[in-house]
């Protein structure tokens, strides 16, 4: 069963959140998500994520969406389920078994403020531990554990079609142009 995970980034403030949202997108890509939808009109982030994806390979996409509500509705109508990462939710270890059975997951990653409706719209509100930390870290642990529950290893996946490839090395930097 192939996994299809798409990130929905909510509450992004243009300029101010650019760096964190870029980290969210790159983390999603590196850990096996298909793409990221950004519910904010900030083209800089999208351009930079798509540039990385082009240079380093794989089929990750990033695009701006007009209405997060419409995206959530369509996703559910297509049979997908929605996970909202929030420190207030149910703890990940308690729900990971159910969640990882799903084939299509939309993972909502909020910035500091999210529209309150998302708590009701989500199928699961999930905490990656009930402590304040980082939405980037929460997404990373979530993606890694979903992969583990499905028996896949995101850190050895191939990213075909890239122009650059790192050769793992015990010291120094080895980058191959392909």
Q: What angle, rounded to 10 degrees, do the helices at 135-150 and 92-99 form?
A: 50
**Would you count residue 29 as binding a copy of itself (CB under 8 A)?**
yes
Quick one: tokens of 70? Answer: 């419409």
Cα 11-115-12 angle, rounded to 5 deg:
5
Q: Which one among 3, 6, 10, 27 touches a copy of itself, defined by CB under 8 A? A: 27
Q: Which one among 67, 74, 134, 152 touches a copy of itself, defined by CB under 8 A? A: 134
Which residues in the 44-103 window bind a copy of itself by CB under 8 A?
52, 56, 87-94
**Which alpha helices (DSSP H) does 38-115 contain, by range?**
43-56, 68-77, 92-99
Smallest gap from Cβ 174 to a copy of itself, in A, equals 7
**Would you count residue 146 as binding a copy of itself (CB under 8 A)?**
no
Instruction: Give the Cα separation of 37 and 35 in Å (integer).
Output: 7
Closest CA relative to residue 126, chosen from 96, 167, 102, 158: 96
**Would you count residue 127 as binding a copy of itself (CB under 8 A)?**
yes
**Would you count residue 19 as binding a copy of itself (CB under 8 A)?**
yes
Smallest gap from Cβ 120 to a copy of itself, in A, equals 7
**Would you count residue 111 as binding a copy of itself (CB under 8 A)?**
no
Distances (CA, A) of 124 to 40, 62, 92, 174: 23, 23, 10, 42
From 3-11, 33-41, 70-78, 123-131, span contacting a copy of itself (CB under 8 A): 123-131
**Which alpha helices (DSSP H) does the chain contain, by range?**
18-30, 43-56, 68-77, 92-99, 118-121, 135-150
**Would you count residue 15 as binding a copy of itself (CB under 8 A)?**
no
Nearer to a copy of itself, 41 or 157 (CB): 157
Instruction: Give the Cα separation of 27 and 18 in Å (integer).
Output: 14
Interacting residue ranges for a copy of itself, rule: CB under 8 A: 19-20, 23-24, 26-27, 29-31, 52, 56, 87-94, 119-120, 124-125, 127-134, 136-141, 144-145, 153-157, 159, 165-175
């Amino acid at each position: 069963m192939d996994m299809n995970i798409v990130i929905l980034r909510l509450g992004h403030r243009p300029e101010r959140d650019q760096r964190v949202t870029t980290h969210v997108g790159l983390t999603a890509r590196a850990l096996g998500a298909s793409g990221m939808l950004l519910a904010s009109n900030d083209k800089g982030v999208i351009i930079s994520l798509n540039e990385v994806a082009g240079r380093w390979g794989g089929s990750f996409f990033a695009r701006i969406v007009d209405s997060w509500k419409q995206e959530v509705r369509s996703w559910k109508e297509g049979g997908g389920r929605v996970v909202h990462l929030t420190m207030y939710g149910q703890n990940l270890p308690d729900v990971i078994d159910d969640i990882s059975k799903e084939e299509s997951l939309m993972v909502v990653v909020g910035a500091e403020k999210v529209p309150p409706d998302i708590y009701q719209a989500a199928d699961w509100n999930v905490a990656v531990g009930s402590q304040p930390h980082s939405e980037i870290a929460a997404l990373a642990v979530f993606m890694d554990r979903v992969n583990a529950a499905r028996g896949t290893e995101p850190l050895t996946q191939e990213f075909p079609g890239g122009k650059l490839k790192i050769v793992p090395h015990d010291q120094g930097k080895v980058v191959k142009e392909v």
